Chains A and B, each alone.
Chain A
C-alpha cells in the first residue's frame, strides 16, 4: 500500500537491473482483504481493527524473525470481483507471502482460485460455507467453524428449546444458503418441521414481504443468517409486524451488543450463535488471550459490539505470524507448510489445522468452540438450557 511514487517509477524503469529481492525487506508484509465498505462493512472493519491490535502487539514484542510485521489492508467492497482484484494487488504489487480474508464465504470462494494460481496461503478468519475447505484448494486454512460444525453443536439444543416448526430467512449467498442447508438438515433429523425458507439479497433493507409470509406460516422459530446490519433490520421489522416466532441468528457475525444498541427492545428474546462470548471470558479456552484482546479493544475505543467479530482478525494475524516464525522465512511455500504445524493459543481456542477435502490437496480446518447466547432485557445472558 505504501509505494513511494519515485520508487515505483524507478522500479518500472530499472526492474530489469534489480534482481528483485521480493521478500527481502525490513518489514514482513501480511495481506488482508476485508469488506470495509458495502453490505458487510461493519463486520469487515471490526476484523481489520482486531488484526491491527494483533499487528501492534506482535511488533511490541519484537516482531517476527527479528523484523516488524506490516499489514497491507485492502477494501474488497463486499464484492467478489473486487475481492479478486485486491488479492491480485496484494500478491503482484505488494508481494505479500500470506493473506488473511476475505470475510464472507462468497468473497473467500471468489479469491481461492487466485491464491492457488499464485501459490500463496490464505488464512480464512470468518467464512462458514462448507465448500471452502472441500474444494481441493491446499492453500486454504480456515480458523472459523463451518456451518456444519455449528449445526452439530446446535443439535442438542433443539429439544431443549422445544422447536417444533422452523422457518429460515437468509442471504442468497454462500454464507446464508450454506447455513440454512446445514441447520435445516440438523433440524429434520430431530423431526422438526421445516416451514418457509425465505432469502434476501445482501444489500436489501426491507424484509416486510418475507416476514409477512413467515408470520403466516406459523413457525415457532426463525433462523436468520446474515451480517449484523441486516439482522438489526430483521429484528426491528419482525417486531413491527408482531412476528412472535423466536429468532435465532447463526454464523457468529451478529454482534449482540450492537443489536441491543441499535434494535433496542426488538432484540429482546432473540438467540445468537457466537464463537467468542466476551460477556463470560472465563468460559473460553484461553482466557489470557481473550482478556488481552478485550482490554486493548476497549482501550482503543472500538465499538463494543464489534468485539465478537474483531477477534477473528486478531487470531488470524497471530496464526500467520506464528506460521512465519515456524517457517523461519517469510515465503509463501514455507508458510503454507508451517501452517500445518502451528498451534496458536488464540481467542478462538487452540487453533490448529486438520485435513479436510479431497485427498492429496487437502485444505486446513480448525475446530473452534460454538456458544449460544440470549438477549434478555437489553443484556446478553447465558441461556439456562
Chain B
C-alpha cells in the first residue's frame, strides 16, 4: 500500500508535465492541422535554455525558467513564420515532411552546440524531500508539479476568456467562417504554434533539472505527446490534460508492478487498445481527420 501511494504520487507529478506537452501538441494539431514533429525539439530547447541560463550564465532559477519559456515561444513563432506560413492549405503529409526535416536539423544543431554529453542542472531546492507519511516527494518535483498546474490553468483561461482564445476556438471550429468574420488566420496560426511551443519548452525547462539534458531527449517527449493526444483525441484540450495523467499513471504502475523496461511501452499499448475499442480517442469532440 505504501508503495502504491508512492507510485501514485510519482505519477501525479510527472502527469502534470505530460499534460503540458500534450496540450501544446493538440492545440497545434487542432487549429493548424499540423502534426508537429518539432514538438520534442522545443522540449529539449527549453531544457537546454534552462541549462544555459542556470549553469553557464548563473542566472536565478526562476528567472531562467521564465526566459526558457519566452525563448521557446519565440522559437515556435519563428518556426511557424519561416516554415509553415507558406504551406497554409497544403495537405497534412506535406507539412509533416517539412516538420520532420526541421526536427532533424534542430536536433543536430543542438548536438553540435552542446555536444552529445548529458548535462545536469542544479536546482535550488533542498535535497531532503518532503515526507508525508509513507510518501516522499522532492521539493524540485513538487515545484514542477505546481508550475505545470498553473500553466495548464493559464492556458485554459487564455483559450476560454481572452479575445485571442476566442479567435483560436473559432478557427478550430470553422476556419473559413472565422476568416470571413475578420479573424487574422495568419496571426492565429503564429500565436497557436508559439503557445504550443512555449508549453513544450516549459515542460523541458521544468523536467531538465529533475533528470538530465542531452540532445535526443526530445524524441521520447515527442512520442509521449503523440500518445497523449491520441488518448485524448486529436484537438481536445481536456482530453490532452487527462491523457497526460493517464499516461503517467500507466507508465508508473506498469514500471512498478509489471516491468520497468516496459515503462515507455505503456503509452503505445494504450494507443493500440484505444484504437481497437474507441478509435476516436477517449474525449474526442470532433470527427477524426480522414
List which B109-162 residues lie within 8 A (CB) of chain A: 111, 115-118, 120, 122, 127-129, 131, 136-138, 140-141
Binding-face segment, A13-21, A105-113, A262-270, A314-322: A262-270
The reply to whether A240 and B129 contact each other, CB–CB distance below 8 Å, is yes
Query: Does B263 sit within 8 A of A, measured CB to CB?
Result: yes
The reply to whether B7 and A172 contact each other, CB–CB distance below 8 Å, is no
Option from A200, A233, A239 in Cβ contact (under 8 Å) with B260: A200
Option from A212, A232, A241 in Cβ contact (under 8 Å) with B212: A232
Query: Does A59 sit within 8 A of B, measured CB to CB?
Result: no
Query: Does B252 sit within 8 A of A, measured CB to CB?
Result: yes
Query: Does A159 sit within 8 A of B, measured CB to CB?
Result: no
The reply to whether B260 and A241 contact each other, CB–CB distance below 8 Å, is no
CA distance A42 to B252 in the complex (A): 28
List which A235-292 residues lie within 8 A (CB) of chain B: 236, 239-242, 262-266
Write the B1-38 contact mask toward A (1 if CB under 8 angstroms, else 0). Answer: 01100110010001000000000000000000000000
Query: Does B261 sit within 8 A of A, measured CB to CB?
Result: yes
The reply to whether A213 and B3 contact each other, CB–CB distance below 8 Å, is yes
The reply to whether A41 and B115 contact each other, CB–CB distance below 8 Å, is yes
Binding-face segment, A1-9, A203-211, A336-344: A203-211
- Contacts A262-B120, A266-B127; A229 near B256 (Cβ below 8 A): no
The reply to whether B3 and A242 contact each other, CB–CB distance below 8 Å, is no
The reply to whether B122 and A262 contact each other, CB–CB distance below 8 Å, is yes
The reply to whether A41 and B252 contact each other, CB–CB distance below 8 Å, is no
Option from B136, B212, B215, B252 in Cβ contact (under 8 Å) with A240: B136
Query: Does A216 sit within 8 A of B, measured CB to CB?
Result: yes
The reply to whether A41 and B214 contact each other, CB–CB distance below 8 Å, is yes
CA distance A261 to B111 in the complex (A): 23
The reply to whether A241 and B127 contact each other, CB–CB distance below 8 Å, is no
List which A180-230 residues lie within 8 A (CB) of chain B: 198-201, 204-210, 212-213, 216, 229
Q: How far is the CB of A189 from chain B (nearest CB, A)?
A: 29
The reply to whether A41 and B117 contact each other, CB–CB distance below 8 Å, is yes
Q: Which residues of A contact B215 (CB under 8 A)?
A: 37
The reply to whether B3 and A212 contact each other, CB–CB distance below 8 Å, is yes
- Contacts A38-B116, A240-B136, A241-B136; A206 near B127 (Cβ below 8 A): no
Question: What's the tally of chain B residues with a CB closer than 8 Å to chain A?
Answer: 32
Q: How far is the CB of A340 from chain B (nearest CB, A)?
A: 36
Q: Which residues of A contact B111 (CB under 8 A)?
A: 37
Q: Which residue of A lies closest to B116 (CB)?
A: A37
List which B206-222 residues lie within 8 A (CB) of chain A: 211-212, 214-215
Q: Which residues of B contact A212 (CB under 8 A)?
A: 3, 6-7, 10, 256
The reply to whether A216 and B127 contact each other, CB–CB distance below 8 Å, is no
Q: How far is the CB of A222 from chain B (nearest CB, A)?
A: 15
Q: Which residues of A contact B140 (CB under 8 A)?
A: 240
Option from B10, B118, B260 in Cβ contact (under 8 Å) with A42: B118
The reply to whether A239 and B117 contact each other, CB–CB distance below 8 Å, is no
Write the A37-58 contact mask toward B (1 if CB under 8 angstroms, else 0). Answer: 1100110010000000000000
CA distance A207 to B252 in the complex (A): 10
CA distance A94 to B171 in the complex (A): 58
CA distance A205 to B118 in the complex (A): 11
Q: Which residue of B lies closest to A268 (CB)?
A: B127
The reply to whether B117 and A242 contact each other, CB–CB distance below 8 Å, is no
Q: How far is the CB of B107 from chain A (nearest CB, A)?
A: 11
- Contacts A37-B116, A208-B252, A209-B263; A264 near B122 (Cβ below 8 A): yes
CA distance A199 to B262 in the complex (A): 12
CA distance A272 to B137 in the complex (A): 26
Write the A330-357 contact mask toward B (1 if CB under 8 angstroms, else 0). Answer: 0000000000000000000000000000
Q: Which residues of A contact B260 (CB under 8 A)?
A: 198-200, 204, 207, 209-210
Q: Which residues of B contact A45 (CB under 8 A)?
A: 115-117
CA distance A278 to B214 in the complex (A): 28
CA distance A75 to B215 in the complex (A): 15
Q: Which residues of A contact B122 (CB under 8 A)?
A: 262, 264
The reply to whether B7 and A41 contact each other, CB–CB distance below 8 Å, is no
Q: How far is the CB of A111 from chain B (nearest CB, A)?
A: 20
Q: Which residues of B contact A75 (CB under 8 A)?
A: 116
Q: Which residue of B lies closest to A267 (CB)?
A: B127
Output the residue of A36, A204, A236 with the most chain B CB within 10 A.
Answer: A236
Q: Which residues of A contact B164 (CB under 8 A)?
A: none
CA distance A367 to B122 in the complex (A): 38
Q: Which residues of A contact B252 (CB under 8 A)?
A: 208-209
Q: How far is the CB of B49 from chain A (nearest CB, A)?
A: 19
CA distance A172 to B141 in the complex (A): 27
- Contacts A205-B212, A209-B256; A264 near B116 (Cβ below 8 A): no
- Given A240-B138, A240-B140, 5 more A-B residue pairs with CB atoms under 8 Å apart are A37-B215, A41-B115, A212-B7, A212-B10, A229-B212
Question: Could you list some 6 contacts between A and B, CB below 8 A?
Answer: A37-B215, A41-B116, A45-B115, A209-B10, A239-B127, A242-B131
List the 4 shortest-distance A-B pairs measured between CB atoms, nearest first. Answer: A37-B116, A209-B255, A240-B138, A262-B120
